[in-house]
């Protein structure tokens, strides 16, 4: 329930911040939020161990001259380190495992119960017959605040599982977005290809119609040219026929003789006979 609320808060805050660039954040589920928080909290604990063991955290004179302070380096190593440290810095379960793990003892040494020196409010894995209040149950159920008093092998296994879950969730989110983008791109390419095919088919049809019109006009032009040539030949033949008839009449031949003579030299076709 706690990580679900955390996920809602993170989503709302991210959505408000994303309005500036117009991006759309993806909401985490409770398991993803738990895994991300555990990973970031482990990062905070590692930086805190280095702060406890080192005085200057590698700050040189040149960095000091460039106004690079210890707080700047801590924020670079772990974002929001100061805010997280102000909340969890004094809690026992933040201490490194090397300081809380019991050293190897001989048979003559007295065995000290590690859980006995840790505050019960922060001992996440202590078994108790009395479940306690709802608030204590909620704190005990949060793996992100778990005590580091468990053996190193168990802690390493838990860290590995949390990291694997985070990686699985990242792959899951990435694959979902990649699949959606690939599907949209494929649909766009299909529509684009279909439009190109329709355009090419339309252009091909228009080209065929244009060729048919040009062929028809060419045929009509040839027919008209042939008709004009035939008419010119007939007109010249008629002129020669009339000229010969006139000369024969002037020579003293009768009309019947002229017709017979002209018909002999210029016979009429069946379609041209009057």
Q: What is the pLDDT at residue 16?
A: 81
Give the residue ranges of the chain where pLDDT is below 50. 92, 99-150, 171-172, 274
Q: Which residues contact 73 (CB under 8 A, 6 or more apart)?
A: 57, 58, 59
Cα separations (Å) of 18 from 9, 14, 113, 217? Answer: 14, 6, 50, 67
For residue range 33-71, what is the model confidence (pLDDT) as tens digits?
888 888 888 888 888 887 777 655 566 666 666 667 777
Are the C-beta atoms of residues 183 and 162 closer than 8 Å to each other?
Answer: no
Q: What is the pLDDT at residue 49?
A: 81
182's tokens = 């690939």
Whether this prediction's pTM lies above 0.75 is answered by no
Q: What is the pLDDT at residue 180?
A: 79
Are the C-beta atoms of residues 4 and 30 closer than 8 Å to each other?
Answer: yes
Q: What is the pLDDT at residue 151?
A: 53
> How many other C-beta atoms are found inside a 10 Å radius of the C-beta of residue 73?
19
Are the C-beta atoms of residues 128 and 154 closer than 8 Å to each other?
Answer: no
Q: What is the pLDDT at residue 143?
A: 47
User: What Rg do the C-alpha atoms of the chain give, in angstroms?
Assistant: 52
């Amino acid at each position: 329930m706690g990580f679900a609320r955390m996920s809602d808060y993170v989503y709302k805050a991210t959505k408000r911040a994303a309005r500036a660039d117009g991006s759309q954040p993806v909401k985490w589920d409770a398991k993803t939020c738990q895994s991300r928080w555990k990973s970031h909290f482990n990062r905070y604990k590692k930086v805190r161990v280095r702060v406890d063991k080192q005085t200057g955290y590698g700050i040189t004179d040149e960095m000091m001259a460039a106004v690079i302070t210890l707080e700047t380096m801590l924020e670079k190593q772990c974002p929001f380190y100061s805010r997280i440290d102000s909340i969890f810095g004094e809690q026992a379960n933040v201490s490194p495992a090397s300081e809380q793990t019991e050293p190897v003892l001989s048979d003559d040494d007295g065995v000290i119960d590690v859980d006995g020196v840790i505050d019960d409010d922060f001992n996440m894995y202590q078994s108790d017959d009395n479940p306690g209040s709802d608030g204590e149950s909620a704190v005990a159920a949060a793996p992100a605040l778990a005590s580091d008093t468990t053996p190193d092998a168990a802690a390493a296994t838990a860290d590995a599982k949390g990291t694997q879950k985070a990686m699985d969730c990242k792959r899951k989110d990435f694959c979902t977005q990649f699949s959606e983008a690939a599907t949209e791109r494929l649909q766009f390419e299909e529509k684009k290809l279909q439009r190109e095919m329709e355009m090419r088919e339309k252009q091909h049809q228009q080209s065929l119609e244009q060729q048919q019109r040009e062929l028809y006009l060419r045929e009509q032009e040839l027919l008209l040219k042939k008709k004009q040539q035939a008419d010119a030949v007939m007109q010249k033949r008629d002129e020669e026929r009339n000229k010969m008839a006139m000369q024969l009449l002037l020579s003293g031949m009768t009309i019947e003789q002229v017709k017979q003579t002209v018909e002999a030299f210029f016979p009429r076709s069946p379609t041209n006979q009057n």
